[in-house]
Amino acid sequence: MRISATNNNGTVTLYFEGRFDTMATKQATDDIEQQLKGCAPVKSLVCDASKLEYISSSGLRVFLALAKQYKDFRVIETSSDVYQVLEMTGFTKIMNVEKAMRRFSVDGCQIIGRGGVGVVYRIDDDTIIKVFREGTTIDEVQTEITMAKESFVLGMPTAISFDIVRVGSQYGLVYELLKADTLTACLKREPQRIDEFARLYASLFRHLHDIKVPKGGSIPSCIEREEEAVRIISRYFDAPSTDLMMRIIQSIPQGDRLLHCDLQTKNAMLQNGELMLIDMGEVGYGHPIIDLGHSYSAMVSLVGDYEQIIGLPQQLANDIWLKMIQYYFEGQSADFIKHRTEQIAVVGCLRNFTWLSLSNSFPDEVIRHCQEIFAERLTKRKDYILSVCDTFKDWTLE
């Protein structure tokens, strides 16, 4: 058996190739010790088992000793046979073991959506894949699957993927959606159907906001997440600006409704006349104004390039959202809808900046542009913003 190692800022990966049987154990133990000495200091240890053909009880004891020595010990890319041994012996319960994943290539595939957490590609007529941005951890991908499963059980129309794959060095989620297309693509192809699409869009929002999230589940509070986002981006803004964002959040009424929190037209897939959601990374519970505000920030008041980010001309994006909100509040007076839209827009202003919390690697020019927009949209309008926040309490939930 051959063993080699790499060191990436203290995360050492040991690569095992061959059979980890009883005869190989003594030499393997010596090789591991030498490799770790050469990579010192070791902050965390990963064992890559992608080329490990077999492991005996002696080899398992070596893994167990390493797991006791290194707190963040993981075994990754295990084949089905090796994983079965680890599972049957109970090792998957006492250490982090990851199965080898299918590998996908997206070369030449159509991009059907692009956002802060990744890019969605059409693989074929039946399959799409969401490729997460570089640096996304397996735990973050698993969290999205968990949110999708819980939301589906509660009644959210979502395509659920249980298949995590590798696309180069990044993680991906594969969704099977037969003859489905994004609402963005449908709008671009048939803009004359905008009223029909707007009604479907509004129905999807209303359906979500009728769902009450029971206490005790894993779906997080959107208010708490918004507050954490402001704390993260406070390094980009002065104290008065951070305080203003917190005051907006603290004005939002409590709620227990199911929220998607990124319901742009590119995240809704039209399949057999029904809209289904594909991006569940920000699902939470709270007041509907948060969900609608996040949507407004993308479709109406986006900071950035509409065509590149949303995939629609700005006017068409604005039109579908404004028509949607008319249908969402269908039966209410024009003044009522105007008032609600003003409230939603204020929350949308907040989202225009909290998305910066999604990454630590935005270019300086992006940060500066957001700071300039913040001054225009919030700082100069502070009195108006806070006066609208004072009215949030009139939006009660039945």
CATH number at residue 314: 3.90.1200.10
Domain with residue 155: its CATH number is 3.30.200.20
* Residue 276 sits in the same domain as residue 165: no
Judgement on whether residues 244 and 370 belong to the same structural domain of the protein: yes
Give the bridge partners for 286, in sequence order: 257
Q: Among the three residues 153, 176, 199, which one is the final residue of a domain in this structure?
A: 176
388 and 298 co-located in one domain: yes
Number of domains in the chain: 3
Provide the pLDDT for residue 19: 93
**Which pLDDT value is given to residue 300?**
95
Same domain, 87 and 122: no
**Separation of alpha carbons 294 and 288, rounded Å:** 10
One domain, residues 52 and 70 = yes
pLDDT at residue 178 in the model: 64
Same domain flag for 130 and 72: no
Q: Within a domain: residue 194? A: yes
Note the pLDDT of residue 272: 85
Angstrom distance (rounded) from CA 397 to CA 44: 48
Residue 147 and residue 56 share a domain: no
CATH number for 62: 3.30.750.24
Please check whether residues 214 and 296 belong to one and the same domain.
yes
H or E, element range at 49: strand 44-55
User: Does a structural domain hold residue 340?
Assistant: yes
The span from the CA of 42 to the CA of 354, in Å, is: 35
Kindly state whether residue 263 falls inside one of the protein's structural domains.
yes
Spatial distance between the Cα atoms of 15 and 6, rounded to a whole number of angstroms: 8
The residues that bridge with 111 in the sheet, in sequence order, are 121
d(CA 360, CA 363): 9
Domain around 64: 2-99
Is the domain of 195 the same as that of 335?
Answer: yes
| Same domain, residue pair 315 and 186 | yes
Residue 27, token pair as written in the block: 């030499």
Tell me what pLDDT residue 292 has. 98
- Regarding whether 306 and 188 lie in a shared domain, the answer is yes
Cβ neighbours for 115, distance < 8 A, ≥ 6 positions apart: 262, 264, 266, 267, 279, 309
Are the CB atoms for 14 and 45 separated by under 8 Å?
yes
Residues present in the chain in total: 398
Q: What tokens were used for 254?
A: 């409590």
Whether residue 104 lies inside any domain: the answer is no
Per-residue pLDDT of the chain (398 residues; tens, 9 = 90+): 899 999 988 889 999 999 999 999 999 999 999 999 998 888 889 999 989 999 999 999 999 999 999 988 999 989 888 999 999 999 998 899 988 888 889 999 988 877 767 888 988 888 889 999 887 887 788 888 888 888 999 999 987 776 888 898 899 998 877 678 899 999 999 999 999 999 999 999 999 999 999 988 889 999 999 999 999 999 999 999 999 999 999 999 999 999 999 999 999 999 888 999 988 889 999 999 999 999 999 999 988 777 878 888 999 999 999 999 999 999 999 999 999 999 999 999 999 999 898 777 788 998 999 999 999 999 999 999 999 999 999 999 97
146 token code pair: 């968990």
- The answer to whether the CB of 336 falls within 8 A of the CB of 330 is no
Query: Does residue 256 lie within any of the structural domains?
Result: yes
Last residue of a domain, one of 127, 145, 176: 176
Q: Which of 99, 134, 153 is the last residue of a domain?
A: 99
Asked if residue 325 is part of any domain, the answer here is: yes
Amino acid sitting at position 363: P
One domain for residues 61 and 198: no
Give pTM, 2 decimals. Answer: 0.77
SS3 56: coil
Number of H helices, E strands in the chain: 15, 15
- β-strand partners of 121: 111, 129
Q: Measured at the alpha carbon of residue 350, what is the angle toward residues 353 and 374, in degrees to the nearest 5? A: 60
**105 inside domain:** no
In a domain, 153, yes or no: yes
Taking the C-alpha atoms of residue 268 and residue 371, their distance in angstroms, rounded to an integer, is 30
Dist CA 195 CA 201 (whole Å): 10
